[in-house]
Amino acid sequence: MRADIPGVDMGGEDRADRTVPDERAGRAAGHEAVVIESLIKRYGEMVAVDGLSLRIPRGEVLGLLGPNGSGKTTTINCLLQLLTYDRGKIQVFGKPMTATSYDLKRRIGVVPQEVAVFDELTVAQNVDAFCALYVKNRAERRRLVEQAIAFVELEKFTKFKPKKLSGGLLRRLNIACGIAHAPELIILDEPTVAVDPQSRNAILDGIKKLNKQGATIIYTSHYMEEVEQLCDRIVIMDAGRRVASGTADELKAMIGTGERIRVEVVSPVSLDEEHLEHLRRLEHVRTVSYEASELLVECSSGAHNLSDVLEALTRAGVTCGRITSEPPTLNDVFLEITGRALRDEAA
C-alpha cells in the first residue's frame, strides 16, 4: 500500500484487571480519541459488557483482544451507536457520542471482518459508494476515491467486480471502502483473515502508514504477531470486562510464564528421572519434560534461566546439541489470563 490519505491530520470496573498505569490516561479529554466510562450492556439476563472503562489517546494503535463472547464486538458496536446500552458514557474526540452524532460518525471509519461490498459494482464504484455516505462534493469525493484506491494498490483493478478479485484483493477493497472518507478513528476487525502473505504484509504496512498520518486505530485480530507488530497498547477483555492492558512487554511481564528452553540431548541416550528432578529443583523452573531426545524446560521469570539449566546439565554429564530459548508470547499471556489460546478462538 502507498500514498497518503488526505485529511487524516489530528492536530471499578474490572475483575482481576491487570492494567499497567499509563500516564496518557490522565490527559484531558481533548487529547483522547475515545473515552468509555462504566459501560454496561445487557441482553436480557446476560451481561455482555460489565462496567468497562477505556481511554484511547489520539494517534494510538490499540489492540482489542478477547475470546469469543468476551464483549469486544459489543463494545465496538456500542461505540459506533449500533447498539443501545444500559449504562455508561462514550465520548469520541471530546464530545458525547450519540445515535445522531453525524459530525463524529463522519470522522470514524470501519473495516468489518466480513467483506462488505456490493457485488454488482466495480472496485471504483464500491469505494465511491461508501465515500458518498460522508462526502457529497463530487470533485472532492473523486479525489478521495482515487487516493484510497492508490493507497491499497488497486489501480489496475478499478473496473473489476468483486467476484473477479482474489481474497487478498477483496480485503484491500474492504479497507479502501472503510477509509475513503479520510477518517481520524479507524476500527479494523480481523482485516487479514484468510489472505495470502503478500496481501497480509501490504495490509499491515498500510495500517502503519495510516497511523503515521495521524489516525487512531482500534485493531482486533487472532494473529498475535500482528498485534505485537502494530499495537502501542493492548487491552484484553473476558466476560465483558477488561482483565489486562499494557504494552506487549508489560503484559508478558505480568504473567508467570517465562522463557521456554529446548535442548537436544546427544548423550546419554536417555535422561533418567534423577536428571529431570534435579532440573525441576532449579529456581524459576516451572515444568520439565523429555521426549525423543528433546528436553523442554519451561521457566517463570528470571534473568539466568538458560545458563542455570546448561550448568546443571553439564554437571550431570549431559552432552547437548542444539539449544534454543523462546521468550514468552502474547498467546502465553492470553492463555494464562483467559484460560484459552486465542488461536483456538479463531476456529
Q: In the chain, which residues have pLDDT < 50?
A: 3, 5-15, 23-29, 347
What pLDDT, in 10s, does the model give residues 150-196?
999 999 999 999 999 999 999 999 999 999 999 999 999 999 988 88
Question: Which CATH class, in words, describes the domain spanning 32-252?
Answer: alpha beta
What CA–CA distance (Å, rounded) separates 193 from 222? 9
> Given this model, what pLDDT does residue 258 score?
78
The segment(s) of the chain belonging to CATH 3.40.50.300 are 32-252
Angle at 111 between CA 333 and CA 196, to 5 degrees: 70
Q: What is the predicted pLDDT for the residue at 269? A: 66
Q: What per-residue confidence (pLDDT) applies to 18? A: 66
Domain with CATH 3.30.70.100 in the chain: 255-338
pLDDT at 25: 43
Distance CA 36, CA 167 (A): 35
Region 255-338: CATH code: 3.30.70.100
